[in-house]
Structure 1
Amino acid sequence: MSDINNWVLPEGIEELLPDEALRLEKIRRDLIDLFASWGYQFVIPPLIEFLDSLLAGTNSELALQTFKLTDQISGKTLGIRADMTPQIARMAAHHIKKCDAPVRLSYLGTVLHARGAQIEKSRSPIQLGAELYGSQHIKSDVEIIQLMLEVLAVSAIQHVHLDLGHVGVYRGLAQQAGLTTSQEGELLDVLQRKSSDEVVELLETYKLDKKWVNVFVQLLQLNGDVTVLEQAKKVLKLGDASVQQAIEELQEIAALLQQSYPSLPLYFDLAELRCYRYQTGVVFAAFVPGFGSEIARGGRYDNLMIEQGEQVRSATGFSADLKVLTRLMAVILDEQAKEIILAPDVLDENLQGLIRELRTAGKTVIMQLPDSSKQPNHTALIAKVNDKWSVS
């Protein structure tokens, strides 16, 4: 007899039972259709690759999240994908060489994480996303944000608010203040803890001019609605043209989004830089009340294309976890109310024709099996009345 304890799944790995699996599959189909309607070609990268190519151009955090194993054929180290974005960038690098126009790609598939980011998060997310390559214009970022919002709408997720930032603000200030690469990274980590005292304490060890200490402390306070951007232009006037340009890009994005989504709450945080080492421009994330982390996120990441050996460097995109979207659906499919038609176990050509007709029309028809005395749950029966099969 099997030991039931052997059925326990690893932490962060889950199975989907019929109701949730059906909801997820319905959204999956709808989202692939949505991507196609926006001109985003669907691609499927490999689940497993040689580790060197899988991690090309990525950071150490992704390497830690990647499951590794030895290929029994080549003897080389393989990696199971933990993030599909670098794979899509590599695929696009080859595609862009053959096409001068911007390239739009979409994807959806399971990834595997060696460690869970948070206790409640899955280690086997179903990652979905879209990437736009070959355009530096601000409207390409807006298009990606709009598509992300449409993904959430198709997934029946309500009360979404959007957070935006720009890594160019911090990067420009850090460079102008004369921080070394290691100092820039250390300060970044402290800024994420939102503690002005820690910022001051760290910068004092750098012997930084007091005016720059004040700038980085004030950076922590630059968060709020769109009006904070005008305030930022004044507070960060010590920053060079790149800093001002980054703020102006955020203002332009806000204006374009407000035209398309006038009721969408926008929130700006110029010190929120969770993807700083990966992104190069605007960054954004979608949130809903009652959920502790973002439900979708993205931004511009031009440098990754360089790592893939491509001269066309512009890239922007977003990603989300389909499992999270499924669980946050505002509209739950009522499977109990769905019509289920029970057909008798009878060899009859006319009966089989009716069953095929009903299934083609999208109806659910199940057969009464001969070795089952109990009828399965159903809402209607196929019966023969006056020599004619019909649903009753």
Structure 2
Amino acid sequence: MLDLSLPAGLRDLLPDHSADLAELSGSLHQVFSSFGYRRVLLPTLERLEVVERGLSPAAVAGVLKFVEPGSGEVVAIRPDITPQIARLYASRPDALPAPARLCYDGPVLRAHEARAGRPREVYQAGIELLGEGGPSADAEGLSVLARALASAGLGDAVIEVGHARFAQEVVAAAGLPPAARAEAAVALARKDEGALAALARRARGSAAARAALPALAGLYGDRALERAREVAEVAPGAAAALGEVEAAIKLARRRGLPEVAVDLGEVRGLGYYTGITFAGYAPGAGSEVASGGRYDGLLARFGRPGPAIGFAVDLEFATQALERAGARRAPRRRDAGRRRRR
């Protein structure tokens, strides 16, 4: 008998749910367009060498790849769209002068589930601002994300701001051996102050830097920026990172950004973030509804160096939040369809 089930981690989206995702993507793109972002359509397959150049070794391990029968080339199904944007930007400077504001939507596919219950195929819509850096570009990324989530009906989502280098600089100042830095990343992800304290006892840095290491687990919530200033005193690089976060938030607030949360102990994956990072969390969603940040080193890997920042909205989790909040609009479409058939 034919097995009609799907491979693990994949699922069908039925008409109503598919319509919700399409409507949400349309709402997001209206906001992207209002900020001057232009839409691009990208293939789902890339040469493996392009994908590998754009991701960390850990992320590359989750890439689904195969040999094309005709050419013998090793190709990959994209696990992330940002490296594709970087490849496009590097290959077409004639059509995409800096700064380039691009937006997109489409699925990405990973070889394995990131965690139990999370789909391997993720539908995204996002933006990339290429060739422009500094506080103004960081503030623009935050402002576009906040406006997009609000326009989509997720105005109660919390935007959390961090920095890719802050915790790294403190860990380096503490003098952790290279083998222990991976343990520190796991402890930071879990907010495990006890594990960080144990690692600090194995560190070789100054007493002040070693004492600051466990404090990274608590750099979120009320007065997080104030506590971060104290921690940053042990590492000049951390102080510089904190300054970038504060400058971006200050400028974005002038442009109407609502209150944001701060988490400077957060570490994010994919291997290309270099500066400010942000994520969106909405009630009712099983995971973050958006994530992104600054990745100033990625474009150079593709031969066209320059600063860049962007984010992606997870359409599935954003729709989940809308549906659980009772904000879905599909019933009106179904009612309209029934009226047309009468």
The alignment's TM-score, normalised by the length of structure 1, stands at: 0.79
Report whether the alignment pairs 1:25 with 2:22. yes
Deviates more, 1:158-167 or 1:193-202: 193-202
Alpha-carbon shift at residue 174 of structure 1 (Å): 3.4
- SS for the counterpart of 1:55 is helix
Provide the secondary structure at the position in 2 that maps to 1:243.
Answer: helix
Structure 1 residue 204 corresponds to structure 2 residue 201:
yes
The SS at the match of 1:131 is strand
User: How much does 1:295 deviate?
Assistant: 0.7
Change over 3 Å in CA distance of 1:143–1:164 after alignment to 2: same
User: 1:331 deviation in Å?
Assistant: 3.4
Aligned to 2:329: 332
Aligned CA distance change for structure 1 residues 74 and 214 (closer, same or farther; 3 Å): same
Larger displacement relative to structure 2 (51-60 or 96-105): 96-105
Contact 1:191 1:271 in 2 (8 A): yes
Is 1:195 the equivalent of 2:192?
Answer: yes
Partner of 1:104: 101
3-state secondary structure, aligned to 1:163:
strand
SS at match of 2:141: helix
The one of 272, 285, 296 aligned to 2:290: 296
Q: Supply the AA of the counterpart residue of 1:251.
A: E
**C-alpha contact 1:297 1:320 (8 A) present in aligned 2:** yes
| Alignment equivalent of 2:228, drawn from 222, 229, 232 | 232
When residues 135 and 180 of structure 1 are mapped into structure 2, their CA distance, relative to the original with a 3 A threshold, is farther
Higher relative contact order (CA 8 A, sep 6+): 2
The aligned runs of 1:144-183 (5 Å cut-off) are 144-179=141-176, 181-183=178-180
What's 1:82 paired with? 79
Distance 1:45 1:292, change over 3 A: same
Kindly state the Cα deviation for residue 102 of structure 1 after the two structures are TM-superposed.
0.8
Q: 1:238 to 1:87 in 2, by over 3 A?
A: same
CA-CA distance at 1:49 after TM superposition = 2.0
Shift of 1:129: 1.0
SS at match of 2:120: coil
Query: Is 1:245 matched up with 2:243?
Result: no
* Alignment partner of 1:71 is 2:68: yes
Query: In 2, Cα distance between the equivalents of 1:84 and 1:99?
Result: 17
Residue 182 of structure 2 corresponds to which residue in structure 1? 185
Tell me which residue corresponds to 1:38: 35
| 3-state SS in 2 of match to 1:104 | strand
Task: Give the 3-state SS of the residue equivalent to 1:7 in structure 2.
Answer: coil
Task: Give the structure with higher Rg (CA).
Answer: 1
- Letter aligned with residue 232 of structure 2: L
- Check whether the contact 1:167–1:276 (CA below 8 A) recurs between aligned residues: no
Q: CA deviation at 1:68?
A: 1.4
User: Is residue 78–residue 108 contact of structure 2 (8 Å, CA) maintained in 1?
Assistant: yes
1:260 CA drift (Å): 4.0
Q: Are residues 249 and 338 of structure 1, via their aligned partners in 2, closer, same or farther at CA, if it must alter by over 3 Å? A: same
Aligned to 1:285: 279
Answering whether residue 120 of structure 2 is matched by residue 123 of structure 1, we say yes
Query: Secondary structure at the residue paired with 1:6?
Result: coil
Gaps of 5+ in 1: 342-363, 367-377, 379-392
Contact 2:180/2:199, CA 8 A, preserved across alignment: no
Alpha-carbon distance, 1:38 to partner: 1.9
Task: Name the % identity.
Answer: 30
Quote the Cα distance in structure 1 between the aligned partners of 2:242 and 2:48: 38
The residue number in structure 1 matching 2:252 is 257
| RMSD, aligned α-carbons | 2.3
CA distance in 2, matches of 1:21, 1:279: 31
Q: Is the 8 A contact 1:114 1:123 kept in 2?
A: yes
Which structure shows the higher helix fraction?
2
For structure 2, the 5+ residue unaligned runs are none
| Contact 2:174–2:200 (Cα < 8 Å) also in 1 | no
Contact persistence 1:55–1:86 (CA under 8 A) = no
Matched length: 337
